[in-house]
A = this chain, B = another copy of it.
């Protein structure tokens, strides 16, 4: 076919060009979500192409793309350039993004927003460790201990170990069988890290002490001493709060 731009598209004559259907914004998003639910599409399953969606839903490609972008932000769909669109994991990344933004936007200086997140984390962990203690197997305790050992090694070498810290808390609450818990705690953990980084805070100034706090938790769990475990956990959080408070004073 010739590269002709063809006519500037009648516009005026033959007029009317069917009206835009006045679709409420967000309608397409809901329709795509409903399509996934109706077809029982699992995470990773391919979605119809944009062309198919615009035909199925009777909207333009731009509208389809805007809806898909919104769903992508919610991790409900995953878009791969030049390949296709797929059902997403519906993870808690939107929560991470939203909480990070709002914590940074609330330029309170004294880190009150971070303290709120820490409080929620602490209440959750202290409450959950009681239930975890009842179901932890020896193998799972061994795994926790191996993480702590690696922490101690890193601490002696003066290195920090943020990944080990995250791994510890995930391994601690994984055995609960509640998939939401590790994701939620991980989300709060990530928000804390990102905000700390964005504010230029220093890393853990006493990694050896941090490693010991975790050792105390495992020791208490081995002894099936729930109260001790809760106390050790609380002490751990006091340490985090103290660091955050110090940094806030230093910067604010």
Contact = CB atoms under 8 A, between A and B. Distances in A.
Contacts of A71: 73
A105 B90 contact: yes
A40 B107 contact: yes
Q: Copies per complex?
A: 2
Interface residues of A, number: 54
DSSP class of A's interface residues: helix, strand, loop or mixed?
A: helix
B36 A105 contact: yes
Contacts of A119: 178, 180-181
Given A69-B70, A95-B98, 7 more contacts: A37-B101, A40-B107, A91-B98, A94-B94, A116-B179, A120-B124, A120-B184
Contacts of A124: 120, 123-124, 127
A213 B46 CA distance: 47
The 6 closest A-B pairs by CB, nearest first: A90-B102, A94-B94, A123-B127, A70-B73, A127-B127, A116-B180
Contacts of A72: 70
Interface of A: 5, 12, 25, 29, 33, 36-37, 40-43, 62, 65-67, 69-76, 79, 81, 87, 90-92, 94-95, 97-98, 101-102, 104-105, 107, 113, 116-117, 119-120, 123-124, 126-128, 131, 178-181, 184
A101 B33 contact: yes
Contacts of A90: 98, 101-102, 105
B92 A74 contact: no
